[in-house]
Amino acid sequence: MSKPASLFLSILLLLLVSGPVSANEWEMATEAYRNKDYTAALSIWQRLAEEGDRDAQYAVGVIHYKGQGVRKDLESALEWFQKAADHGHRDAMFNLGVAAWEGKGLPKSYATAVKWWKKAAAKGDPASQYNLGLAYSLGKGAEQDDDKAQALLASAADSGHAGARRALPALQNRIATQATLSAGVGTSETRTKDDVTTPTDTASAPSKSNVANTNASKTSAADDPQDYTAGIISVEAASLRIAPKHSATVLDILTLGTPIKIVSATDDWAQIDAPAGSLAWVFGKYVSGHTDQATIRGAGVRARSKPGTGVGSTVITKLKAGERVRVLKTAGKWKLIATSIKTWLPTSNFEMLDTPTKSWHARWVSTSQSRIQGNKRSTQPSTKTAPVADTVDDDNIGQKPRAALVRTLSSEVLGTARSNAPILAFITRGTPVRVLSERGAYVSVQIPNGLAVWVYGKLIEDMGKIAVVNTPNVRARSMPSTGADSGVLGQLRKGQKISIISRQGEWTRLRALNSVAGWMRRDQLDILDTVTAEWTEKWSRARASIRR
């Protein structure tokens, strides 16, 4: 299996406390801490800690770790975490596991990290369940076991752990693909998504209960009353269906990183709103009025996936007479409308956010525009725009690749050199990449796990699980279109065999390992002066693991 080149697990200070100490004393210490009178807080917690109170021991460890009122002292922090852990404090156990995993303040030992996370996970700690799940998935500190990894990630995800909700679908997809490969399907360029992200740093004041992270960015639009939960598609291709069952008609395919609004949810399915709404095509004579004031004329009017009645245009649903719709665009005799059709996704296909952020709102707006623009174009490219004999951007030609390492906790690989471009993958800190060129604040990169790309279906031979390229120099694109928002990521050679991920209309999504590149922000990378032995080992190890 593939392993993330580097797994960064920050020390999370979750400060769960519940012990036999005097409520009045604890409130005094907590109040002092919140008022940033760390000396007063420490004087109370220090005494209680020395008396053996595990919650106070953990709180003292936090103060030493953060350097609040005292000099930052990791050694002292870990000593207090050790005492708290010995008394059964699960967050102290988690922190000791992280320290051992990273070799920060403790000897580097994956086995020791796993030992502590097992203890904390058994006490129901979601962060420890998540880290332990990744350890089993990687086979570090414990024998590789995808079943245990999946169970632990599922448990953490059920508790609301954001990292687990991202990682679980990736693990499940990889397990499914490995099962397919073991059955003898596909021999080259096969790869499932393994872009595991990790939780962001959080720190809370010690208290008698969980304290929310007050430093989190919470932004919502003034004109967008929040009667929904914000979410992000976490799989490479999510089928948007008109009913909560896998046999229901697919309205659209939402790609990795697409923002969604979650209206309601059960254990398995969620009703969601997609950017720009539920889009469909209707023959123009059955639509009365314009823009927001339009209504459907006639009973049982067919809403279609494409403007036409050909083989590629499926009937999504039938609209009622008088039903209000919003007209977005006219193409010949057909109108693109936003309908009131309810749409559904499996809950495993997305990650819920605590609150809609500025970046989520910006991506919602840009994706809405892209979905409308994408539906305005003809769904069949002409021979001039079909992906044949095209070239990649000139910036990518004739330059020697440079070695780089991801410097941020989690980074997006984009389809074009724009902040609102489609997200192709997430990669984590320490991942080796090849930098091909620079363009402003962005760089063109190759990543060891390859990319999910779109190819016009007539240029490949679809063999079910794999595709064989049947035309020279086929363009691999970031979106299933030839429009300006669909970047050319590279070229595929004739005869190349590639794993199929999904299909959308006349386009097919493939997993390409070589000859393709995405875009990243330059400030998310440490570009090396030379190709080091460490970088080469990481790249080779990542590539070798794909072919196992």
pTM assigned to the model:
0.38
From first to last of the 548 residues of the chain, give the pLDDT tens digit: 333 323 333 333 333 344 444 567 888 888 888 888 889 889 999 999 898 889 989 999 999 998 888 888 889 999 999 999 999 999 999 999 988 888 888 888 888 999 999 999 998 888 899 999 988 888 888 888 888 888 898 888 888 888 788 788 777 766 765 554 444 433 222 222 232 223 223 333 343 322 222 222 222 222 333 457 788 886 667 888 888 888 887 778 887 778 888 887 776 788 888 888 778 888 988 888 877 678 888 888 888 878 888 766 778 788 888 888 888 888 888 988 887 778 888 887 777 776 677 778 888 888 887 777 665 433 332 222 222 222 233 333 334 678 899 988 778 888 888 877 878 888 888 899 988 888 888 998 989 888 888 898 888 888 888 888 888 878 888 888 887 778 888 888 888 888 888 888 889 988 887 778 899 999 999 998 888 888 888 888 877 766 54
Query: Residue 372: which of 343, 332, 331 has the closest Cα?
Result: 331
Q: How far apart are CA 236 and CA 191, in angstroms?
A: 12
Helix, strand, coil percent content, the chain, rounded in steps of 5: 30, 25, 40
Which sequence spans correspond to the domains of the chain? 23-182, 226-380, 394-546
φ, ψ (nearest 5 deg) of residue 223:
-95, 15
Q: How far apart are CA 263 and CA 276, in angstroms?
A: 15
Q: How far apart are CA 532 and CA 403, in angstroms?
A: 8
- The three-state secondary structure class of 346 is strand
CB neighbour burial string for 249-264, b if at least 16 within 10 angstroms, e if fewer: eebbbbbbbbbbbbee
Q: How far apart are CA 360 and CA 366, in angstroms?
A: 10
Question: Got the DSSP string for 450-476?
Answer: -EEEEEEGGGEEE-SSEEEE-STTEEE
Q: What is the CATH number of domain 23-182?
A: 1.25.40.10
Please report the sign of the dihedral spanned by the C-alpha atoms of residue 511, residue 199, residue 348, residue 131.
Answer: positive
Query: Residue 200: which of 149, 154, 237, 163 has the closest Cα?
Result: 163
Both tokens of residue 469? 């390229």
Q: How far apart are CA 122 and CA 527, in angstroms?
A: 41
300 DSSP assignment: T
- The three-state secondary structure class of 429 is coil
Both tokens of residue 443? 């760089």
472 DSSP assignment: T
Both tokens of residue 242? 């008109």
201 DSSP assignment: P
